[in-house]
Amino acid sequence: MPGESAVVLARAVVEAVERVSPSFVRIVFGGDGLRDVGTPGRVLDQRIKLFFPNAAGELPDLAAAGDDWWPAWLALPEETRGSIRTYSIRDLLVEAGRTRLVVDFVLHPAPGPDPASGSHRASGADPVSAPTGPASRWAGAARSGDELLILGPRRGRDGGGGIEYEPGDAATILLAGDETAAPAIARILEDVDRDVRGVAFIEVPVADDALAIDAPPGVEVRWLPRAGLDHGAALIPAVLEHLGTAATEAAIVDVDTENPLWETPRFSSLGEALPGADGQRPDGRSADGQREAEPAGRAERYFWIAGESGVVTTLRRRLVKDLGVDRAQVAFMGYWRRGVAMRA
Residues 91-96 have a mean pLDDT of 93
Cα dihedral across residues 243, 245, 250, 256: positive or negative: negative
Confidence of residue 257 (pLDDT cuts 50, 70, 90): low
pLDDT at 89 over 80: yes
pLDDT at 274: 59
pLDDT at 114 over 80: no
Residues 332-344 have a mean pLDDT of 77
pLDDT at 23: 95
pLDDT at 123 over 60: no
pTM here is: 0.85
Residues 230-247 have a mean pLDDT of 91
Q: What is the pLDDT of residues 137-149, one digit of tens each?
A: 999 999 999 999 9
Over its C-alpha atoms, the chain yields an Rg (Å, rounded) of: 19
Confidence of residue 264 (pLDDT cuts 50, 70, 90): confident
- Strands 219-225 and 47-52, bridge-based pairing: unpaired
Output 278 or 168, whichever has higher pLDDT: 168
Residues 186-197 have a mean pLDDT of 97
pLDDT at 117 over 70: no
- Of the candidate ranges 23-27, 95-99, 200-204, 272-276, the one whose mean pLDDT is the lowest: 272-276
What domains sit in the chain, N to C, each tagged with a CATH number?
A: 7-153 (2.40.30.10), 172-336 (3.40.50.80)
% of the chain with per-residue pLDDT over 70: 77
Q: What phi and psi, each to the nearest 5 degrees, are found at residue 70?
A: -65, -55
Output 297 or 322, whichever has higher pLDDT: 322
% of the chain with per-residue pLDDT over 90: 61
Full strand arrangement of the beta sheet holding 47-52: 83-88, 47-52, 147-153, 7-19, 24-30, 98-106, 91-95
pLDDT at 63: 85
